[in-house]
């Protein structure tokens, strides 16, 4: 496993996304993933699976300290008192004393950003999390957050895959020492039928999804693909035994298109 280092954090470059995984399936997939070598699990309060994630981690029998667990605070919990209580509730559901990374799930205009960041930093100082970061933050919001936060932020988790150009956010992350964590890294499964990725994959004996994930980690990003299928867990982590050439990296980057964004909501910020 490769790691991405950012402001004191050491983040395994491939993690397991868990959105929509629930109950027994969720716990079983996580247990299997850890047994296969995953050391990074991504959940969120709003996924309503923190209990199952905790169960899967424990069932793996790998020491808790070897697994990097991220959760995200939903925007309705951004007022300082509410934030602390909601994080403690997350830890109770996870049955963990701390998480490794705690993120603000989306920017919100309902509570001033500096107040929420103060509470997030306080959660870190209380030992509820080892590291803190943000998600779905634009370049302007990254800069605002880095300036206002009393503790270092270690990442911005954003949608990133070959169909979405994220060079501006990548630049802002690099300038501020933040890791870019790519969500929907295989474009919610859409890369499977991609001819360009499949053709590159044939050269290396890899699948289109593996080429896509390699493209992300080779740029220094972290990727958190999700699968509910145990057989795909190995496929998505076996991306550290080949290199894409400069031309191949450029060919994948050329797949970006203006309508490539898959996740957008009325409450989303104005994207870069």
Q: Which is closer to ligand NAP, CB of 162 or CB of 185?
A: 185
Residues 44-103 that bind ligand NAP (CB under 6 A): none
CA atoms within 13 A on the CB side of 73: 33
Residue count, binding to ligand NAP (CB under 6 A): 27
Of 56-64, 115-123, 164-172, 185-193, the segment contacting ligand NAP by CB under 6 A is 185-193
In this structure, what are the phi and psi dihedrals at residue 71, rounded to the nearest 5 degrees?
Answer: -130, 165
Strand-pairing partners, residue 4, are 11
The minimum distance between CB 76 and ligand NAP, in angstroms, equals 15
The minimum distance between CB 193 and ligand NAP, in angstroms, equals 9
The minimum distance between CB 135 and ligand NAP, in angstroms, equals 4
Q: How far apart are CA 166 and CA 180, in angstroms?
A: 10
User: Quick one: which of 23, 112, 150, 189 contacts ligand NAP (CB under 6 A)?
Assistant: 189
**What are the angstrom distances between the C-alpha of 125 and each of 3, 114, 148?**
24, 16, 16
183 is catalytic: no
Q: Which is closer to ligand NAP, CB of 126 or CB of 267?
A: 267
Of 52-60, 112-120, 177-185, 237-245, the segment contacting ligand NAP by CB under 6 A is 177-185
User: Quick one: which of 17, 107, 152, 201 contacts ligand NAP (CB under 6 A)?
Assistant: 17
Q: How far apart are CA 11 and CA 110, in angstroms?
A: 30
Which residue out of 38, 47, 160, 163 is catalytically annotated?
47
Judged on CB neighbours under 10 Å (0-12, 13-18, 19+), 69 is buried
Sorted by sequence, the CB contacts under 8 Å of residue 151 that are 6+ apart come out as: 120, 121, 124, 125, 132
Query: Is-contact 155 222, C-beta < 8 A?
Result: yes
The minimum distance between CB 146 and ligand NAP, in angstroms, equals 18
Of 61-69, 92-100, 166-174, 219-227, the segment contacting ligand NAP by CB under 6 A is 219-227
Residues with a catalytic annotation lie at 47
């Amino acid at each position: 496993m490769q790691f991405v280092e950012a402001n004191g954090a050491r983040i395994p470059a491939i993690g397991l996304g868990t959105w929509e995984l629930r109950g027994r399936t969720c716990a079983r997939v996580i247990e299997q993933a850890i047994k296969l070598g995953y050391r990074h699990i991504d959940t969120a309060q709003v996924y309503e699976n923190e209990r199952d994630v905790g169960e899967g981690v424990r069932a793996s029998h790998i020491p808790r300290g070897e697994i990097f667990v991220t959760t995200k605070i939903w925007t309705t919990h951004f007022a300082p008192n509410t934030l602390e209580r909601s994080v403690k509730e997350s830890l109770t559901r996870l049955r963990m004393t701390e998480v490794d990374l705690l993120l603000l799930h989306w920017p919100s205009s309902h509570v001033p950003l500096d107040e929420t960041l103060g509470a997030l930093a306080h959660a870190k100082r209380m030992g509820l999390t080892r590291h803190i970061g943000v998600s779905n933050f634009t370049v302007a919001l990254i800069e605002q957050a880095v300036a206002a936060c009393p503790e270092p932020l270690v990442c911005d988790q954003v949608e990133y895959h070959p169909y979405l150009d994220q060079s501006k956010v990548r630049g802002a992350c690099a300038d501020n020492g933040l890791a870019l964590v790519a969500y929907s890294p295989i474009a919610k499964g859409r890369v499977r039928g991609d001819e360009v990725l499949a053709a590159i994959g044939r050269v290396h004996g890899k699948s289109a999804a593996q080429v896509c994930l390699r493209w992300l980690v080779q740029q220094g990003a972290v990727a958190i693909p999700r699968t509910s299928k145990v057989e795909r867990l190995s496929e998505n982590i076996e991306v550290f035994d080949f290199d894409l050439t400069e031309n191949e990296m450029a060919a994948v980057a050329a797949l970006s298109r203006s309508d490539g964004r898959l996740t957008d909501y009325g409450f989303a910020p104005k994207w870069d």
